[in-house]
């Protein structure tokens, strides 16, 4: 059916992200010793502006993530929605920044692939086994559950099914009975290039679910923005050519709309920056280092690219953690 084709095209975007990250790390933009186990070969050369764009994306998201972990002293849980083949769990383990539990959700077929890689690659499975206290670790074709890391196959557009699965694997939520605030873990929800593939009502529903489920929480979202102009149109057409529709593109028209979506869906504070701003706020010493890696003559193209992506984030807190923007 058309829906199947569209979903398949959305699933394929997971490989794009991993292939581009793999290439950029092979050039030294940042370190990721685990990504090689998810895409074997380095693949075709990517243009320097693409590599810089991925650098800004990964560094920007990581800085927010790490700030949240430090604020909560890792006494928190993280849920990466539409995680694809993301390697953050392993990075956090190596950096001694592991949350109490790290959850990932993606379509069952993507999850099955990820679990297959984990099963067959000791550098991936070892850290999971090491952080697990008992002998029995749940590992089947569509889910993995250990003490600190859990991967679930579910459709983000079916919130009740997803929630049920997450709870089955000990997600800590506000609606779990007469618990006191002390037992409720601060929660970080991450969506990196995911919401844009869902309709505006579906993504708002997910954002509202997170606000209603966790009393002290942060939501980090990375995706397209400013899509109304010529450059935005070209980005949309490129995806359409691969049968991939950006069902949520209308929510990606401006930074204002990104913020509003959070504020209308139960979040107390919201912020949004385009990637030009994020790029300029990253530690300039490291930015200088990566800018020397490859010569870039199309500076304008880089600016255009960065201008069409954004990081938006929102927070709400019952426990006064002071979750703030710590670039």
Residues at the site binding ligand SAM, with contacts judged by CB under 6 A: 10-11, 13-14, 17, 82-84, 86, 106-107, 110, 155-157, 192-194, 197-198
Nearer to ligand SAM, 11 or 101 (CB): 11
Nearer to ligand SAM, 39 or 301 (CB): 39
Tokens for 260? Answer: 């509003």
Nearer to ligand SAM, 37 or 197 (CB): 197
Decide if 30 contacts 24 (C-beta within 8 A): yes
Least CB distance to ligand SAM at residue 292 (A): 26
Name the phi and psi angles at 73, rounded to 5: 50, 35
Least CB distance to ligand SAM at residue 21 (A): 7
Nearer to ligand SAM, 203 or 216 (CB): 203
Least CB distance to ligand SAM at residue 43 (A): 15
Least CB distance to ligand SAM at residue 98 (A): 19
- Would you tell me how many other CB atoms lie within 10 Å of the CB of residue 208? 17
Give the DSSP letter string of 148-200. Answer: SEEEEE--TT-HHHHHHHHHHTT---TTSSS--GGGSPPEEEEEES-GGGS-H
Handedness of CA 128, 132, 137, 143 (dihedral sign): negative
Nearer to ligand SAM, 193 or 276 (CB): 193
Q: Which residue in 121, 101, 94, 97 sits closest to 39, CA to CA? A: 121
Least CB distance to ligand SAM at residue 12 (A): 8
Decide if 252 contacts 246 (C-beta within 8 A): yes
Least CB distance to ligand SAM at residue 194 (A): 4
CA dihedral (229, 234, 235, 239) in degrees, to 10, reads 140
Nearer to ligand SAM, 199 or 303 (CB): 199
């Amino acid at each position: 059916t058309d829906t199947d084709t569209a979903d398949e095209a959305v699933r394929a975007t997971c490989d794009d992200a991993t292939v581009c990250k793999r290439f950029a790390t092979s050039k030294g933009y940042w370190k990721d010793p685990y990504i090689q186990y998810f895409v074997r070969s380095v693949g075709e050369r990517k243009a320097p502006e693409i590599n810089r764009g991925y650098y800004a994306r990964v560094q920007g998201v990581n800085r927010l993530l790490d700030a949240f972990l430090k604020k909560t002293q890792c006494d928190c849980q993280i849920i990466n929605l539409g995680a694809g083949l993301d390697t953050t769990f392993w990075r956090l383990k190596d950096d001694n920044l592991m949350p109490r539990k790290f959850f990932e959700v993606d379509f069952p077929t993507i999850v099955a692939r990820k679990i297959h890689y984990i099963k067959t690659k000791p550098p991936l499975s070892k850290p999971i086994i090491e952080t697990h206290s008992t002998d029995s670790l749940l590992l089947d074709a569509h889910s993995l559950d250990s003490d600190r890391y859990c991967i679930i196959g579910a459709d983000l557009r079916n919130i009740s099914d997803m929630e049920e699965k997450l709870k089955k694997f000990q997600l800590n939520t506000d609606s779990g009975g007469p618990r006191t605030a002390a037992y409720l873990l601060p929660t970080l929800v991450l969506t990196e290039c995911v919401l844009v593939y869902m309709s505006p009502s579906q993504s708002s529903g997910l954002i509202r679910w997170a606000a209603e489920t966790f009393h002290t929480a942060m939501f980090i979202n990375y995706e397209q923005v400013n899509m109304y102009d010529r450059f935005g149109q070209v980005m949309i057409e490129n995806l359409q050519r691969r049968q991939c529709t950006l069902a949520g593109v209308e929510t990606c028209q401006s930074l204002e709309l990104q913020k509003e979506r959070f504020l209308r869906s139960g979040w107390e504070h919201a912020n949004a920056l385009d990637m030009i701003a994020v790029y300029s706020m990253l530690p300039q010493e490291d930015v200088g280092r990566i800018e020397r890696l490859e010569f870039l003559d199309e500076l304008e193209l880089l600016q255009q690219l960065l201008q069409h992506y954004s990081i938006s984030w929102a927070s709400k807190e019952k426990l006064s953690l002071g979750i703030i923007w710590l670039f």
